[in-house]
Amino acid sequence: MAAREWWAIKLRESDQLKHTIAGAGAGLVTSVVTCPLDVVKTRLQNQGVVNAARKSYKGTAGTLTRIWSEEGVRGLYRGLGPTIFGYLPTWAIYFTAYDYFKDLVARQTGHHESNLFVYIVAAMSAGATSTTITNPLWVIKTRFMTQNEHTPYRYKNTLDAFATIYRVEGLRGFYKGLGSSLMGISHVALQFPLYEKLRLWLKPADSDQVSSTNILIASSTSKMAASIATYPHEVIRTRLQNQSTHPPKYQGIIHAVKLIYQEEGIRAFYKGMPTNLLRTVPASALTILTYELLVGRLNEIARPV
């Protein structure tokens, strides 16, 4: 049996397999393309009160320039390994779970899959599933992207980071920031239902296909709206995930919110947001477009000859 024929049979047998492969492929492409901006955003988010003894990061261009001059190209791709390890399973799990929960909720409630309630519940359920499973990878990614000569930890690679965190902080260390990450479910609860509705609205009446241009418009618009509305939780999550000292500065989500507000004011909750939008809007568009194109290609492979 030829490899193509074997894959065609497998893809026909499992609709979930298509979404897993397409989601993983989309995550891989996105992680490589957007890593430098992810490093910049994470450094800006993690920057607390700045004192005279410590140079601050200033804006997207300033931070990119400083990292390039001090650390070179490797600095811009710091954390790429755990970023790939994070994005790849995150999107593979998310898209698989999203499709599964859409079907499940539609069957359980009697609603059509295009119903807004179905989209929201499926997005939140898929978000909670992928976030909980992959949180350890995002903790490591955050630590890698923020480590420099001032940080108390210096991880050599992803495996060293896993071993060190487990040895020093135990299993709980891998789930720092999980609460604030789960707050991010509100993000996908806005983004994906809005994307689905825009996608349907932009689809030509005489065709089942949505053009790549319209997919990019729908995904960019939905991502920008969701990012602006829910951005503060990302700052809180970054601060919580990046704590490796004992006792930690932030004792939890509520304490982090109070302390950040007292020390840095309301603007602190939007640190790195321009960089985040510059990174996440095209990244989301690229992720979803790659996913849709891969699903279309896999459907062609699965189609009987």
Provide the CATH number for the domain around residue 116.
1.50.40.10
At 305 the pLDDT is 66
Range of the domain at 95: 3-302
At 197 the pLDDT is 93
CA distance 172 to 57: 30
Mean pLDDT rounded to a whole number for the chain? 88
User: Is the pLDDT assigned to residue 96 strictly greater than 60?
Assistant: yes
Lowest mean pLDDT among 114-123, 141-150, 232-241, 290-299: 141-150
Q: What is the pLDDT of residues 166-193, one digit of tens each?
A: 999 999 999 988 988 898 899 999 999 9
Tell me the whole-structure pTM to 2 decimals: 0.79
Q: What is the pLDDT of residues 237-253, one digit of tens each?
A: 889 988 877 788 999 99
- More confident call, 240 vs 6: 240
Number of domains into which the chain is organized: 1
- More confident call, 243 vs 132: 132
Contact between 25 and 91 (Cβ < 8 Å): no
Q: What is the pLDDT of residues 13-63, one digit of tens each?
A: 778 888 999 999 999 998 888 889 888 988 888 887 666 556 788 888 999
Lowest mean pLDDT among 90-104, 209-223, 240-254: 240-254
* For range 276-298, the mean pLDDT: 91
CA distance 90 to 135: 9
